[in-house]
């Protein structure tokens, strides 16, 4: 019985070594591709919170990091709004609020609308007025011709 347990532990140990080797190889490949851990962290959050495909999440995370590095002092809600708009889609306040809730766990539609006005005044977000609603998009998505 004791030798059986030792065999199983040895197999588990070998499996863990293989997994660690694969993780190290993946990290090295990502490093060579120029993808850092901040991008991966944001991309992972976007994949889980917004159910984005990984490739789109990586592209979005690059946009987010560019914006965050250009603008310091943004509050957490504004950051979550930027993350929710990072897919370069035109979204309504309600859609942005849903995404911010998925990212942060809570969000007020009124606060989101106020923050969007501030971000628009800062030139980070642009709005389009339709007959019955406003749609918002990251200004960077328009200026860099990222697809919407």
**Fold held by 36-143:** Arc Repressor Mutant, subunit A (1.10.10)
pLDDT value, residue 93: 96
Say what the pLDDT of residue 118 is. 95
pLDDT at position 111: 96
Predicted TM-score (pTM) above 0.85:
no
Q: What is the DSSP letter of 124?
A: S
- Give, for all 148 residues of the chain, the pLDDT tens digit: 688 888 999 999 999 888 888 877 877 777 777 666 777 788 888 888 888 888 888 888 889 998 998 888 899 999 999 999 999 999 999 999 999 999 988 999 999 999 999 999 999 999 998 888 889 999 998 866 544 3
Residue 134 forms beta bridges with which residues? 129
The secondary structure of residue 29, as a DSSP letter, is H
Q: In DSSP terms, which residues pair with 135 in a beta bridge? A: 128
Instruction: Give all strands (DSSP E) within 1-148, no chain letters.
Output: 125-129, 134-138
């Amino acid at each position: 019985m004791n030798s059986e347990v030792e065999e199983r532990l040895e197999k588990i140990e070998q499996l863990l070594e293989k997994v660690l080797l694969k993780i190290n190889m993946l990290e090295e490949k990502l490093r060579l591709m120029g993808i850092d851990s901040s991008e991966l962290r944001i991309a992972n959050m976007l994949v889980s919170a917004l159910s984005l495909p990984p490739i789109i999440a990586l592209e979005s995370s690059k946009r987010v990091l560019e914006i965050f590095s250009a603008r310091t002092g943004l509050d957490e809600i504004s950051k979550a709004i930027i993350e929710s708009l990072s897919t370069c889609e035109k979204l309504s306040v309600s859609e942005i609020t849903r995404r911010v809730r998925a990212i942060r766990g809570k969000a007020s539609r009124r606060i989101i609308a106020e923050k969007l006005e501030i971000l628009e005044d800062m030139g980070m977000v642009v709005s389009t007025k339709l007959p019955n609603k406003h749609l918002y998009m990251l200004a960077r998505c328009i200026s860099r011709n990222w697809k919407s």
